[in-house]
Amino acid sequence: MTARPVKTRRRGESSPLATVLSHGALITASLVALLPVAYIAYISLGPDKMDYLHPGAILDKATFSNYAKVLFHTDFFTWFGNSVIVAGGTTVFGVLVSATTGYAVSRMRFAGHKQLMWTLLVTQMFPIAVLIVPMYTILSELKLLDGYLGLIMVYSGTTVPYCAWLLKGYFDTIPVEIDEAGRVDGLTPFGTFWRLIVPLARPGLAVAAFYSFLTAWAELAYASTFMLSSGKYTLAVGLQTFVSQYESQWNLMAATSVLIAVPAALVFYLVQRHLVSGLTAGAAKS
């Protein structure tokens, strides 16, 4: 009788038990992440504002009337337009500043380039509670309160430090020979950056744009403090109007939350193929 050959695992190949455990952990983590979102979407189908106290009864009377109320009987489209302006402006301005900053530090050795990056990192250490009062004073002195530009500048100041570090690490992975080839062809430094480097850095730029968009789209503290008139409310500020001292319309709040999440999910879908490479590239060099 011949002995059965022993199957050997190749290097890097996981055992069946390790595979089962890893997949089980990932499935569990996914369910934990999705459960709150699914619950909010479910609560949004209850027609009464107190249905969240009896979620089991929602199945028998589920309706989309809450969405109709939010869309046609509130200022939802005004809030949406304000959020698009602020988030879009933050994304464009923030990515432009962080990309040029990251590229300059990656390629140019000017005086204080290392100190610049560490200064950007230090700015991330201050909580919103500390920054909100001096920022309010600055915007008031500059006559930028209750305006889109002021809020865009505040959000850009929040996103640029992280995005500059992210893109600096990504630009480090792009060969310097490409810049040299651009100079040989007669391109200016900005021309080299715009025509040669930017197309190669699309994954990193996609991550920076996604981060900037989400930061501006979902932020509440700055928006509720700096936007004083109801006509300038963003979606996050408008959302809190459903809950007051005297009344809490949780059904409308849940429906609005779902509507707010749709554009963010759409942006994620558009950039998701770049996210992994953009987040991991340059991790060892940044």
Instruction: Please report which residue ranges of the chain form alpha helices under DSSP H.
Output: 16-43, 65-73, 76-107, 113-123, 128-141, 148-172, 176-184, 189-192, 198-200, 202-218, 221-226, 235-239, 250-280
Q: What percent of the chain has pLDDT over 70?
A: 91
What pLDDT, on a 0 to 100 scale, did the predictor assign at position 283?
A: 47
What pLDDT, on a 0 to 100 scale, did the predictor assign at position 45?
A: 92
What pLDDT, on a 0 to 100 scale, did the predictor assign at position 115?
A: 84
What pLDDT, on a 0 to 100 scale, did the predictor assign at position 77?
A: 95
Higher per-residue pLDDT: 185 or 93: 93
What pLDDT, on a 0 to 100 scale, did the predictor assign at position 9?
A: 59
- Tell me which residue has tokens 């990656």: 106
Q: What percent of the chain has pLDDT over 90?
A: 49
- Mean pLDDT to the nearest integer, 83-106: 94
What pLDDT, on a 0 to 100 scale, did the predictor assign at position 76?
A: 94
Instruction: Look up residue 199 and give its two tokens.
Output: 């197309």
Instruction: Look up residue 82 and give its two tokens.
Output: 């304000």
Radius of gyration of the chain (CA): 24
Give per-residue pLDDT as tens, 138-177: 999 999 999 999 999 999 999 999 999 989 988 988 898 9
Nearest of 70, 39, 68 to residue 56 by alpha carbon: 39
CA distance linking residue 261 with residue 30, whole number of Å: 17
Give per-residue pLDDT as tens, 177-224: 998 888 888 888 888 899 999 988 888 898 899 999 999 998 999 999
Q: Which amino acid is at 153?
A: M
CA distance linking residue 147 with residue 223, whole number of Å: 10
Q: pTM value?
A: 0.85
Q: Is 141 exposed, middle or buried (0-12, 13-18, 19+ CB in 10 A)?
A: exposed
Local structure of residue 243 (DSSP, 8 states):
B
